[in-house]
Amino acid sequence: MSTVKSRRTAGLFLAAAIFAVDQLVKWTVAHPLMLRERGTIEIVPFFRLAWTENNGISLGLLSAETETGRWLLVAMTGLVAAVVLVWLLKERLMPEIAALGAVLGGALGNIVDRIQHGYVVDYADLHFGEFRPFMVFNLADAAISLGVVFILARSLLSRDKPAKPDTPVTENGAAAPSPESQ
C-alpha cells in the first residue's frame, strides 16, 4: 500500500473511531447515566453534563423545528460530509487528512443523531461561574471544530507552497532540497 493511500486509510479510520466514540458517549449519557431524566450531572465545578436537544447546527443556527427542516438539514450536512470525504480521499498530507477525518467523523455522528432522534444530543457544559465560552456541545462538535481550526491554521500559517511536478516531495509534503542547494 502506498504511503498516501495508507495516510488516507488512517484518516478514514480516525473518522470511524470518532464516530464510534461519539455514538458510545451519547448512548452512555442517554441510557446508563439517564441524563435526559436527570437534567444535569456535576463533574467538577467548571464542567457538568447537561442534556440538550439541538435542533440546529453550530450556535443554534439553522434551527430545524419541522420535519421538512430536519430532513433539509440532514441533506445539507450530508452534502458537506460528502465533500469532506472527497477532499480527504484527494489530500496527500497527513495533518490535513487527520483534520478532515476528525471533521468527517464528527459530522457523521451528528447526522446519525438527527436521523434517529430529530435533534443532536449535546451534553458537555464547560462553564466558569455564569461565563460559558461555548454552548453545550458534544464530542462530534469538538472534533469538527478542532479539525476546521487546524485546517484553517495550516492553510493560513504553515502550509508550504506546492512543489513543481518534477520536484521530489518530503514526508510532510514540502519540496525536497535540490542537489545543487546541498
Beta bridge partners of 52: 122
Amino acid at 105: G
CA-based torsion, 70, 72, 75, 79: positive or negative: negative
22, 113, 122, 125: the catalytic one is 122
Number of Cβ within a 10 Å radius of residue 18: 25
Q: Which residue in 23, 2, 19, 155 sits closest to 87, CA to CA?
A: 155
Q: Decide: 82 and 127 in contact? Cβ < 8 Å.
A: no
Q: Is 141 a catalytic residue?
A: yes
What does the buried/exposed string (b/e) look like for 102-123 if buried means 16 or more CB atoms within 10 Å of the residue's CB? bbbbbbbbbbbbbeeebbbbbb
113, 141, 160, 166: the catalytic one is 141
Active site residues: 122, 141
